[in-house]
A and B are shown apart, each in its own frame.
Chain A
Amino acid sequence: GAVVSQHPSRVICKSGTSVKIECRSLDFQATTMFWYRQFPKQSLMLMATSNEGSKATYEQGVEKDKFLINHASLTLSTLTVTSAHPEDSSFYICSANPGRGLTSTDTQYFGPGTRLTVL
C-alpha cells in the first residue's frame, strides 16, 4: 500500500527555536498533503492544506507566519514551526492523497507523526 513518511519522529527543542518537519510520499505523487495537529486526549485537527506549487490553505485560527508550509515537489511537504513555544508541543501528523484528480472520496495515507516537545 501507499506509504507516507515523516521526519523526525520526535523532537525536543528549546523555546524560541524553529523546527522543520518533513512529510514524504514514498511510492506515489501527492498534489495535496494535509497537516494535522493532535493535543493529548483531543481529536486530530486540520491545520492546513498543502498544495504543490502554490500557497498552503490555512484553517481558521492557525497562524500562517508561525506554521510555514512548503510543498516544493510532488513527494515532499515541509512544516516549519517558527519560534516554537511550549504551547506548540503536540503531535503533528501529515497525510497525502495518492489520486491526482482530487475527489472527496480519495483515500488518505497518514505519516507516522512527529511528537514535538518545546521546553
Chain B
Amino acid sequence: RKEVEQDPGPFNVPEGATVAFNCTYSNSASQSFFWYRQDCRKEPKLLMSVYSSGNEDGRFTAQLNRASQYISLLIRDSKLSDSATYLCVVIRRGSQGNLIFGKGTKLSVKP
C-alpha cells in the first residue's frame, strides 16, 4: 500500500464548479501536510499547508482529519487556470524534511 493515496482522476468540471479532492496517508507518524500543484512537465509548487483546524486561502480550503488520516482540498468557483495535477504531500515526524508525494489528482476545468 502506498504511503499517500489519491484518486488519480481525471476530474473534468465546468468553470464555476466546486470540486473536492481526497487523500489518505498510512503512516501515523506523518507530521506535516501540504497540497502542491503541478502543471504538465513542470516542478510542483506549494498550494497550501493543511492543518487540523482547516485552512482557507481564497477559493481553496484544505482540511486534515488526523484520526482518519485523511486530507481534503476543496476548490470553489473553478477557473480554467486551476487545471493541473494536485499532489497530496506529507512529511514524517523525525525525518530530515523530505516530502512524500501522492500520485496526484488531475483536474481539468472546461469553459
Number of interface residues of B (CB under 8 A): 25
- Give chain A's interface residue range (CB within 8 Å of chain B): 20 to 34
Chain B residues lying within 8 Å of A49, measured Cβ to Cβ, are 96, 98
Task: Decide: A44 and B92 in contact? CB cutoff 8 A.
Answer: no
A113 to B96: give the CA distance in the assembly, Å: 21
Given contacts A42-B103, A43-B87, A43-B101, contact A104 B95 (CB under 8 A): yes
What is the CB-to-nearest-CB distance from B102 to chain A, in angstroms, rounded to a whole number? Answer: 6
Question: For A42, what are the chain B residues with a Cβ–Cβ distance below 8 Å?
Answer: 103
Cβ of B57 under 8 Å from chain A: no
A46 lies within 8 A of B99 (CB): yes
Binding-face segment, A11-19, A69-77, A78-86, A91-99: A91-99
| Interface-side segment among B13-21, B41-49, B66-74, B76-84 | B41-49
A104 with B92, Cβ < 8 A, contacts A42-B103, A43-B87, A43-B101 known: yes
Tell me the bound Cα distance from A42 to B6 in angstroms: 12
The 4 lowest CB-CB distance pairs between A and B, nearest first, are A110-B43, A43-B103, A43-B101, A44-B101
